[in-house]
Amino acid sequence: MALACEIAFWASICLIAYNYVGYPVLLALMGSLGQIKSDISFLLTRRDRRQAEKRGASPSIAVIVSAFNEQSVIAARVKNLLEIDYPAERMEILIGLDAPTDATPEILKRFRSPGLRVFHFPTRRGKLAVISDLARRTRAQVLVFTDANTMFEQNCIRNLIRHFADPEVGLVTGEEIRTIKPGTDPGAESLYWRYESVMKILESRANCLHSANGSVYAIRRNLFCPRPHFIVEDFQIPLELRFQGHRVVYDPEAIAVEEIAPSLASQFERRVRLGAGNFQTLFGNLNYLGPFNGLPGFAYWSHRVLRWITPFLLVLAFACCGYLLRNRFYLCLLLAQCAFYGLALLGEYLSRKRRRLPGIWHLPRHFCSMNMAMAFGFFRYLSGKQSLAWAVTPRAQAEETAA
């Protein structure tokens, strides 16, 4: 029994370390080898390594937004889209109102633009149902999905669309920059988001990216065939496309800006919902776990599956150390784990007391909060109580922009 506990402990620790550190390092090495291959090919052939930019008519696009109670941000969102640098005659904006109960419809009536169409749905069904409805109401070649509380930089859409000159590209996702408002408790959310952005760059270069930022991504309309009743559609859709053989590209120059949730509680609830959606995706796509899925399957296991089971690996590692505590080495490891979780609890306590925390103290707190939310998401998924409709995230109130 002791030997089995030792094996389980070290297997858990190694899998967690590989997920957070080993896999990114491996991706970086793969990228370096690819660059070396490109350099050798250039030296042997002396051909230009830069692809010539393909010029021609910009594809027609439809920007699709699902909105519930968004009266604090909807005017600024529409104004931002109307001022985007893209040919107006090739772009339309479709907004679906998911049975709002606030002043969002009245605010949208102020706008007069031939490219703007608003659809009011009387029954609340959730984001996926709304955007699927809107996608059927346009004949645009490319669909651009975004959120009501997101702001695009002027060249964001152009940077997304340029990749579709390559016929192998099925979906392009951009960079989401999260801003921190005064009074917001960011924890280590922004640090973790930058870490995930680096992962997207590395996976995109290795052609094994399988996720998108839900607030800024574009997809060919003929490839948008989402399965109903999925909670996290911005993960399920690119995952399916990549396993079907289409390229999923990340462009860090296609920038969208979004305000971070103002409190750790609202961030936690968001992660619980995402966790439930992640496990729904996992159990709804068991065929992606097979050993013959090549590089996409390897990346899916290394980045996602191991991340989702990390809470249970942490519990297993702690329990194994508890069983082996008569061994001084494992007793020290158990105390080290207790100290780490103690720092997380102390960080949460000081945060609630509005004390300013040193940057390093955010890491244990954020790590534990993220994995606890993932575990809660797992049990919420098993309970079947996770609604497809998003709850409104508390935000700092934005001034209404006149149409």
pLDDT for res 360 = 65
User: Collapsing DSSP states into helix, strand and coil, what is residue 136?
Assistant: coil
pLDDT for res 115 = 92
List the strands of the sheet with 116-121, edge to edge.
116-121, 91-98, 61-67, 142-147, 216-220, 169-179, 247-259, 150-152
Residue given tokens 């966790």 in the structure block: 275
What lies within 8 Å, CB to CB, of 386 at 6+ separation is 231, 273, 276, 277, 280, 377, 380
303-312 burial, b for 16+ CB within 10 Å, e for fewer? bbbbbbbbbe
Residue 232 Cα to chain centre, angstroms: 9
pLDDT for res 249 = 97
Residue 387 Cα to chain centre, angstroms: 19
pLDDT for res 398 = 44
Query: Could you please report the per-residue DSSP string of 248-297?
Result: EEEEEEEEEEEEPPSSHHHHHHHHHHHHHHHHHHHHH-GGGGSTTSHHHH
For the whole model, what pTM was predicted? 0.89
pLDDT for res 193 = 83
Specify the domain boundaries for CATH 3.90.550.10 within the chain: 61-262
The segments of the chain whose pLDDT lies below 50 read 49-53, 396-403
61-262: CATH number: 3.90.550.10
pLDDT for res 349 = 80
pLDDT for res 104 = 94
